[in-house]
Structure 1
Amino acid sequence: MAHTPDDGTGSALPASVRLLQWLVIGLTASMILGVITVVVVVVTRFPARPTPPVPETLALPQGATALSVSQGADWIGITTTDDRILIYDRATGNLRQTVTLTRP
């Protein structure tokens, strides 16, 4: 049985394997183009929304340390380390409401 060495031209491969090789290359290229297209569509369709304005300073009560901040349409909520939720008015920065949390 004669064996022809591969000289790098791909002539030693049977026609069906060469076809399969080109199909795999085409599939890889189309997958890469598809991923790039999806990324471009997501970036252009979902631009970053500007964050709502927040007053420069919010006066926390004495001894309170902010743990997390949440924002609504016209309010800002701050959870403190001493188990309180402080609700501030967004426009004025004044304290609207204090909710004390109880642990079970």
Structure 2
Amino acid sequence: MAAPENDELPVDLKWLKRLVTGLTLTMIAGIAVIAALLIIRLSGPQSPSLPESITLPEGTTAQAFTATAEWYAVVTTDDRILIFRRDGSLRQEIALSP
């Protein structure tokens, strides 16, 4: 007498197959999200261009720099913030207290 054929997979193997399929779908979704975020981020507006050079007052040394579309600021080593317009003219000077 021949043994009946059992085409059904064992329960543990079915669980493993579902787990691998789920993890594969999760990885594909993650890669798609990362690609979409990169496309959105890289196609956005460009950051403001930096000035060719900055002329600081005599005896001043720059410590930090930040820029926006309308102005840029230089933090100096003598605890001042110098805010310049895009054309290079001094807009505002802020003295920092320790």
TM-score where L is the length of structure 1 = 0.75
Moved more, 50-59 or 23-32: 50-59
TM-score where L is the length of structure 2 = 0.79
4+ aligned runs moved over 3 Å, structure 1: none
Q: In the aligned structure 2, how far is the partner of 1:93 from the partner of 1:33?
A: 50
What are structure 1's unaligned runs of at least 5 residues?
A: 1-13
What are structure 2's unaligned runs of at least 5 residues?
A: 1-8
Q: In the aligned structure 1, how far is the partner of 2:40 from the partner of 2:21?
A: 28
RMSD: 1.6
- CA deviations on 1:28-87 (whole Å, 9 max, x unpaired) are 111110110110110112225322123211101222222221223311111111100001
| Equivalent of residue 26 in structure 1, options 21, 24, 27 | 21
The one-letter amino acid paired with 1:31 is: T
| Equivalent of residue 55 in structure 1, options 51, 54, 64 | 51
Q: Does 1:99 align with 2:94?
A: yes
Aligned-pair identity (%): 29
